[in-house]
A and B are shown apart, each in its own frame.
Chain A
Amino acid sequence: MYRRLVVPLMAVTALLALFAVVSPTGADGQSRGKDAVYANRDVVIRTPVLGTVQLYGGTLVLDEVIHGDLLVISGKVIFGGRGRVEGNLIHAGSTILGAEGRIGGRIYPLASLEGAVSALTKTAIIASLLLVWMVVAVVVTLMSGREIRISSIELRSSALHCFVLGLVAMTSFVLTAIAFSYLVPYVVGIPLLAALGVFGLLTKVYGMIAIFHTVGTLVAGSRTRQQLERRTWLRGDLAMVVVGVLLLGAIRLIPIVGTVLWSLASIFGIGVALATRFGRREPWFLAFRAANA
């Protein structure tokens, strides 16, 4: 009975850990050196800050100078008075008001589409990215169709495991990146972070293509041998992947729903890529067994 609870409990644990990592609300009100962290509360800064300021949720009214960077996650920043950021402004899911001419460095949106000004530009970016996904999916399926198919089968046979694995792996990637970022001053952190980034990107790309195959097979896959023989277009791995890209791509164009579904698909994708070891079905770790003399 307890075994049934293991996977859901792991999912909840990973979700909580991921939330704690990307939104460290426990650090609210802390001042580490010259830095300040605020979480889920309204703050007015009226005295200059020598270090960086981090805001997770809530509203920040900035009437004085921040000499370091300003990081805002799911919050709102209003510039007023002598309010200015000498470093960079990095934001995700946030509203920034009156920042024009008050940022010494650059403004970086963390989420890719936040930098886009209008809805039309966002849609154009999504469509352009969809073209890249289509080309990459076709090339990868031509090169490793069997591996993609095996991952797709795994996803359909144990979806919950793939989801939990994806969630835990994503949390692990973020935590590992944070751990490696401590090593950046010692130079070794840069190649480690680069390697982690490349591995994460490859995992996501491979996983998403497996998701395309899964969606294509679920929607347009043949159920019987006769049906398969009758078909001229909708058969084979390549066709399933193309159908999956087109369907998920159409969903991606829907505001909010598309973003949520693609985020979920990414979690499933990372999970299935790791669960099947990129479709090779080989164990990640060798089990120790004593040799029989």
Chain B
Amino acid sequence: MTCEDYLEDPEGNASHLASCSICAALEEEVEVRHQPMSVDALPLAPWEGAKYRTWPLVGAGLLAVFTLAIVLSAAAEVSPLTAVTASMPSVKALLTFFQLTGRAMGAPVVAVLFVVINTVLFLLLRRAPKGADV
């Protein structure tokens, strides 16, 4: 048994202490306090219960929204599919909007704003996230 094996599992390889003076000295130096830990006293972690899937709630939610969409579409005399597709902005309109706005602003202004805003975006994206799922 090597010192590494002992360090990986001190309790399982406790017999190593008898044969290794270095690890025995290390064990004496380190003060280990064995205290019972109450899990309930710890705050609730975000991942606890996160994998649970409440299918009745999903079904009820979908049914409620589906019913609402069907009833309102019927009242407005449009099909839900038509309503969804009609609500998408036209690609041609967006393209024309970008082209005309670009023309109105002028290429130099667009270039300067492009560099400034994307530099700010680059700086903001360098920050590490704060929240941790522990």
Q: Are A242 and B57 in contact (CB under 8 A)?
A: yes
Q: Are A236 and B114 in contact (CB under 8 A)?
A: no
Tell me which residues from 215 to 267 in chain A have a Cβ below 8 Å from any Cβ of chain B.
222-226, 228, 232-239, 242-243, 245-246, 249
Return the chain A residue nearest B120 by Cβ. A168
Given contacts A124-B78, A124-B83, A234-B54, contact A168 B121 (CB under 8 A): yes
Q: Are B110 and A179 in contact (CB under 8 A)?
A: yes
Q: Are A124 and B76 in contact (CB under 8 A)?
A: yes
Q: Are B93 and A224 in contact (CB under 8 A)?
A: no
Point out the residues of chain A lying under 8 angstroms from B128, CB to CB. 283
The smallest C-beta distance from A251 to any residue of chain B, in angstroms, reads 14
Cα A238 to Cα B49 in complex, Å, equals 11
Given contacts A131-B65, A225-B40, contact A21 B120 (CB under 8 A): no
Q: Are A276 and B129 in contact (CB under 8 A)?
A: yes
Point out the residues of chain A lying under 8 angstroms from B64, CB to CB. 246
Tell me which residues from 1 to 60 in chain A have a Cβ below 8 Å from any Cβ of chain B.
10, 13-14, 17, 20-22, 24, 26-27, 30, 32, 35, 37, 52, 54
Known: A155-B131, A239-B54, A283-B128. 19 other contacts (CB 8 A): A14-B117, A21-B105, A54-B104, A124-B73, A124-B76, A125-B78, A129-B83, A138-B58, A149-B133, A150-B131, A156-B131, A157-B130, A157-B131, A172-B121, A222-B49, A228-B49, A234-B57, A242-B58, A275-B125
Contact partner of A223 among B44, B49, B107, CB < 8 A? B44
Cα A176 to Cα B111 in complex, Å, equals 10
Return the chain B residue nearest A7 by Cβ. B124
Number of interface residues of A (CB under 8 A): 100
Tell me which residues from 175 to 205 in chain A have a Cβ below 8 Å from any Cβ of chain B.
175-182, 184, 193
Q: Is A274 interfacial (CB 8 A cutoff)? A: yes
Cα A30 to Cα B118 in complex, Å, equals 27
Cα A271 to Cα B49 in complex, Å, equals 27
Contact partner of A233 among B50, B54, B62, B89, CB < 8 A? B54
Return the chain B residue nearest A122 by Cβ. B76
Point out the residues of chain B lying under 8 angstroms from A169, CB to CB. 121
Given contacts A52-B100, A177-B98, A242-B61, contact A125 B107 (CB under 8 A): no
**A residues whose Cβ falls under 8 Å from a Cβ of B:** 10, 13-14, 17, 20-22, 24, 26-27, 30, 32, 35, 37, 52, 54, 69, 71, 88, 90, 92, 108-113, 115-116, 118, 120-121, 123-125, 127-132, 134-135, 138, 142, 145-146, 149-150, 152-158, 161, 164-165, 168-169, 171-172, 174-182, 184, 193, 222-226, 228, 232-239, 242-243, 245-246, 249, 274-276, 281, 283-285
Cα A52 to Cα B102 in complex, Å, equals 13
Q: Are A281 and B129 in contact (CB under 8 A)?
A: yes
Cα A224 to Cα B68 in complex, Å, equals 34
Q: Are A181 and B106 in contact (CB under 8 A)?
A: no
Contact partner of A32 among B49, B76, B103, CB < 8 A? B103
The smallest C-beta distance from A71 to any residue of chain B, in angstroms, reads 5
Give the tally of cross-chain contacts (CB within 8 A). 262
Cα A247 to Cα B65 in complex, Å, equals 11
Most buried by A among B75, B87, B106: B87
> What are some 17 contacts across the A-B interface (CB < 8 A)?
A37-B104, A109-B89, A116-B87, A128-B69, A145-B51, A161-B124, A180-B98, A182-B107, A224-B44, A238-B54, A239-B54, A246-B61, A274-B125, A284-B125, A284-B126, A285-B125, A285-B126
Q: Are A238 and B58 in contact (CB under 8 A)?
A: yes
Q: Are B46 and A88 in contact (CB under 8 A)?
A: no
Tell me which residues from 21 to 47 in chain B have a Cβ below 8 Å from any Cβ of chain A.
39-40, 44, 46-47
Most buried by B among A32, A124, A135, A153: A124
The smallest C-beta distance from A223 to any residue of chain B, in angstroms, reads 7
Point out the residues of chain B lying under 8 angstroms from A20, CB to CB. 105, 113
